[in-house]
Structure 1
Amino acid sequence: MNILIFGATGMVGQGVLRECLLAPDVERVVAVGRSATGQQHPKLQDLVHTNMYDYRAIESQLTGFDACFFCLGVSSVGMKEPEYKRITYDLTIAAATVLARLNPGMTFTYVTGAGTDSSERGERMWARVKGATENALMRLPFRASYMFRPGMIQPLHGVRSKTPLYDAAIVVLKPVLGLAHRWWPDRVTTTEKVGRAMLAVARRGARKVLLDPADINALGS
């Protein structure tokens, strides 16, 4: 498979990238982002692109992919809805619209979050915007699209969050997260299982389009 990853330098993206590079059936991985991953691997190509709302300059490099794992995302803390919508909805749909046109046989997987509001009418701003993004993605003409809604994610294999506060919290809670993953598999997953689950849906699909932590853990086992 040829895989495209957005957000490969973030916590989820790092874990997904690791699993892609380890998978024997993945031949090529292209990581699209404003900065390079900093990793070297025979399968990996960094595609540095500064304007994540306009892909006309690199369209020729975005063809021939079997799957896209879209792991870009920001916290909504301190943001007004228009700003959060631009970074979450507008940015995602700008990329996905181009990819659907260039790769109609692609499987597109998007990382949202537990509690995302598919109705787009709930009280929580971030959940409405994420719900609108999911709904728009599912209307695009991909071969298949899957919405990953993880709850708490335990980073493994040296994966770190780019958000200092979140990274510090994970370090403190590391022993608790390990236990929580075993005790509450319907609420907690790991970066390893997220990556393996994405590869699983790219290979053979899944019975559900909206995948919660329990689904992710089952697919990633």
Structure 2
Amino acid sequence: MKIKAIITGATGMVGEGVLHECLQHPDVEQILVINRKPGGVSHPKLKEIIHSDFFNLSPIENQLTGYNVCFFCLGVSSVGMKEDDYRRLTYDLTLHVADTLARLNPDMTFEYVSGAGTDSTEQGRVMWARVKGTTENHLMRLPFKKAYMFRPGFLLATEGAKNVKSYYKFITWIYPLGRMIFPAGFSTLQELAQAMIKAATQGYEKPVLEVKDVVKLAKA
């Protein structure tokens, strides 16, 4: 299967890593990134749309057809946020984009970057985990060809990545030790991106992928 992909969140660390792998992968033929600001990446198979309001995609809908995969890497931290605000920027925004893409591209595979610890029951005490769980559950009910939820834990950024938090370089030393002691919680961003591409081209046995699934699929 050849991929014509839409990527959101390409100016963040995860999205940048996914874009980097897609640009190099022979099965990815076309890439459309939707950014709020220019990403600064140029490539023959890359097209960029600058669009500030993800709650109103009608001005760019005519440019969103003809794609068979969406790598949804857009997200915000819940730190310091009230639940209503976090829900709006996580559940409401994601579902609005997904609803639109499902309508325009019914043969699309939708892949959502969630997080380790997401609460599928939607009833737990941890706010972000409930909201992510609700988001995942609703995405899997939409009329996509397939939908996969990726739950990364600690991610080691791709070498040379630009879009990382300033404090990140001070905690990368944790990765080798964490991977050895608790492999179920640690992977590289490259592994995540490769697993997402392989899920799109080859499929996977279950719709929710934890860290161990990500590593397994990346190595397959």
Q: Within 1, Cα distance between the matches of 2:26 and 2:39?
A: 21
1:36 is matched with which residue? 38
Q: Name the TM-score, length of structure 1 as normaliser.
A: 0.95
2:197 is matched with which residue? 199
2:69 is matched with which residue? 67
Q: Retained in 2: the 8 A contact 1:185–1:217?
A: no
2:97 is matched with which residue? 95
1:104 is matched with which residue? 106
What secondary structure does 2:120 align onto? Answer: coil
Residue 9 of structure 1 deviates from its aligned partner by: 0.8
Which of 185, 188, 191 pairs up with 1:187? Answer: 185
Residue 160 of structure 1 deviates from its aligned partner by: 4.2
Residue 178 of structure 1 deviates from its aligned partner by: 3.1
What secondary structure does 2:148 align onto? Answer: strand
Which of 153, 169, 172 pairs up with 1:174? Answer: 172
Q: Within 2, Cα distance between the matches of 1:211 and 1:75?
A: 21
Map 1:127-166 → 2, pairs under 5 A: 127-162=129-164, 164=165
Q: Within 2, Cα distance between the matches of 1:220 and 1:54?
A: 35
Q: Within 1, Cα distance between the matches of 2:100 and 2:47?
A: 20
Number of equivalent positions: 217
Q: Within 2, Cα distance between the matches of 1:182 and 1:29?
A: 35
What secondary structure does 1:158 align onto? Answer: coil
Letter in 2 for 1:136: H
Q: Within 2, Cα distance between the matches of 1:189 and 1:124?
A: 23
Structure 1 runs of 4+ with >3 Å offset: none
1:211 is matched with which residue? 209
Letter in 2 for 1:67: V
Map 1:46-65 → 2, pairs under 5 A: 46-65=48-67
The root-mean-square deviation of aligned C-alpha atoms, in Å, is: 1.2
Q: Within 2, Cα distance between the matches of 1:161 and 1:78?
A: 21
Residue 35 of structure 1 deviates from its aligned partner by: 1.2
Q: Within 2, Cα distance between the matches of 1:149 and 1:50?
A: 26
Residue 41 of structure 1 deviates from its aligned partner by: 0.8
Q: Within 2, Cα distance between the matches of 1:173 and 1:90?
A: 32
Q: Within 2, Cα distance between the matches of 1:103 and 1:57?
A: 17
Q: Retained in 1: the 8 A contact 2:16–2:163?
A: no
1:14 is matched with which residue? 16
Q: Name the TM-score, length of structure 2 as normaliser.
A: 0.95
Q: Within 2, Cα distance between the matches of 1:108 and 1:155?
A: 23
Q: Within 2, Cα distance between the matches of 1:107 and 1:183?
A: 34
Which of 105, 124, 127 pairs up with 1:125? Answer: 127
Q: Within 2, Cα distance between the matches of 1:161 and 1:18?
A: 12
Q: Within 2, Cα distance between the matches of 1:44 and 1:180?
A: 35
CA-to-aligned-CA distance 1:79-127 (integer Å, 9 cap, x gap): 1010000000011001000000111111100011111111111101101
1:25 is matched with which residue? 27
Q: Within 1, Cα distance between the matches of 2:174 and 2:104?
A: 44
Letter in 1 for 2:43: H
